[in-house]
Chains A and B, each alone.
Chain A
Amino acid sequence: MRHLKLLSVFYRSSIQTDMEYRADFFTRIIASLLGLLMNVGAFSIAFHYAGKIGGWTFPQAMVLLSIYYLMDGLIEMFIAPNMRAVMEHVRQGTLDYILLKPISAQFMSSFRTVNIWRLVNVLVGVGLSFYTITQRGLVIGATEAFMFAVTLACGAVIVYSFWLCLVTLTFWFVKLDNIEQIVWQAFEAGRYPIDVYPIWLKNTLTYVIPVVFIITVPAQALAGKLSMSYLLVSMFVALSTLVGASAFWRFGLKHYTGASA
């Protein structure tokens, strides 16, 4: 309860700051829609020459694209700005101030800010999936909806845990923004059906940078392509990465010595 109250204070204050930069919102809308046009166009050209790509039909691929947008938006809204702030704190030694607060340092550093204008990509993702489902006649039953909700939540947990691990590495390596670039490069590959990639890349995207669990699996659930067993796998992965990442964070914190001391 106390955490919820804090969360609302955190988010309210950072939304107030973002309101100062409203023009950013319109630029983002235009940029985002142009990007969407490009991605949908790329899909339609490829599907012009094949009925299925990597086992996905065109409407199913659109669902995949929508989850890609949704996750990209969620990361840029909730996760990335906080994690970048932690990296900066470690570099400057200002993490001290967070550690001194009478609250879990992990909670505080994970949820301090929200980048509200990145909501645009979330909306694009939701809009695209609604459009695809209603216009392209994908039937979503109660089972699909349930599996989608669960796998999406798991995906969010996994992506959070992954970034937490990444951030924890800054306690040793200090400068990590280049590693972030590599992660985004891998994320980019998640826009397309995973089966178009060679096996080594598929494995990397499943086990090393778990893009499959973050984008592909929820999309499969929504498109009715997911078997029940994967639901359990996804939940297991989410739970273990969360526990593992939190433990790693606490372990890393012990190595934090401050920057100026």
Chain B
Amino acid sequence: MSYWINVYRANLKMAIAQMLAYRFAILIWAVWGFVGPLISLAVWTAVSASNKSGIAGGSGQSFSRADFAAYYLVFMIFGHLTMSWDAFEFAYRIQDGRLSPKLLKPLHPIHSDIAFNIAFKLCTSAMVMPAWILLFVLLHPTLPTSWIGLILAIPALFLAGALRYILQYALATIAFWTTRVEAINQLFFTVDSFLSGRIAPLSLLPGVMGSVALYSPFRGMGAFPVELALGRIPTAEILPGFALQIVWLSVALVLFRTLWASGIRQYSAVGA
């Protein structure tokens, strides 16, 4: 245990130092996270303007303008805290052979990447926190009514982050075979946009898509912790929601280990 604490402490220290050297650059990347949710919020605000009684989906959940504001603000913050970019980064590493030195270390490369991811979130969250607070003040969202939801959202958020991270990393290993991953990443991002609740709250998705969304891993990486924090999940559905996250996380871990084990044998360094 103390071995892992040391490993992560050293890696985090290094990652934070690197982050701070590129303050402006990482801030710009963090601001990308604002664009999507705020555009969605603007669109749904316009939709609610023509529908004063609130927008109601099939499952009877209804959204007013202030509800949308709350949903997308929390989605924006949680999205930032659960984001991962390794699916892109990893392919570049394979393309230019930068992966090779990492494989020589007596430590799986995923650990330094996780440390890097955590460092990015620590540094950028501190930087964009004032903007988050300002947006809460400006947009007058519906505030959550119960503390229980907010507290339960914390473990849900951690599970969401872990699930997204492992799943994206598993996806990244496909680069061992294909080298190029743009199409696969775009496929992931497209499906993710619908099923994680980024384009619309899941209860507003029409038809089959709405029912698929309830059980897909994307809900566990997106909408579930958000709705939990806002107290939108009925008590009876909280436990199944966590179960969904844990089941998909286990699937992702198995998938990652299998793909990595066979991919690493496939790997022949580029540029060697």
Contact surface of A with B, Cβ cutoff 8 Å: 23-24, 27-28, 30-31, 34-35, 37-38, 41-42, 45-46, 48-54, 178, 181-182, 185, 188-189, 191-193, 195-198
Contact = CB atoms under 8 A, between A and B. Distances in A.
Q: Which of A28, A30, A48, A49 has the most CB of B within 10 A?
A: A49
Contacts of B189: 34, 38
Interface stretch (B46-54, B75-83, B102-110, B246-254): B46-54
A219 to B, nearest CB: 16
The 9 closest A-B pairs by CB, nearest first: A31-B186, A196-B46, A30-B183, A38-B190, A50-B47, A196-B42, A42-B199, A178-B28, A34-B190
B182 interface: yes
Contacts of A181: 28-29, 32
A193 B45 CA distance: 12
Interface residues of B, number: 33
Contact of A192 (B31, B43, B193, B205): B43
A123 B173 CA distance: 32
Contacts of B32: 181, 185
A45 B180 CA distance: 31
Contacts of B55: 49
B143 interface: no
Contact of A53 (B25, B43, B180, B204): B43
A189 B35 CA distance: 8
Contacts of B185: 31
Contacts of B43: 42, 46, 53, 192, 196
B194 interface: yes
B28 A27 contact: no
B24 interface: yes
Contact of B183 (A31, A45, A193): A31
Nearest to B138: A198
B42 A50 contact: no
B74 interface: no
Contact of A45 (B50, B182, B204): B204
Contacts of A178: 24-25, 28
Contacts, number: 85
Contacts of B194: 38, 41
A253 B117 CA distance: 41
Q: Determine the main DSSP class of B at the interface with A.
A: helix
A34 B187 contact: yes
A46 B186 contact: no
Interface of B: 24-25, 28-29, 31-32, 35, 39-40, 42-47, 50-51, 55, 180, 182-183, 185-187, 189-190, 193-194, 199-200, 204-206
Given A30-B187, A196-B45, 5 more contacts: A31-B182, A46-B43, A49-B204, A51-B50, A196-B46
A93 B143 CA distance: 55
Contacts of B47: 46, 49-50, 53
16 contacts: A27-B180, A28-B182, A31-B183, A34-B189, A42-B40, A49-B51, A50-B46, A50-B47, A50-B50, A51-B50, A53-B47, A54-B46, A178-B24, A188-B35, A192-B39, A193-B46
A130 B51 CA distance: 32
A44 B146 CA distance: 34
A197 B42 contact: yes
A195 B46 contact: yes
Contacts of A197: 42
A54 B40 CA distance: 13
A48 B209 CA distance: 14
A45 to B, nearest CB: 5
A5 to B, nearest CB: 36
B186 A35 contact: yes
Nearest to A177: B25
A14 B239 CA distance: 58
A185 B43 CA distance: 16
Nearest to A26: B183
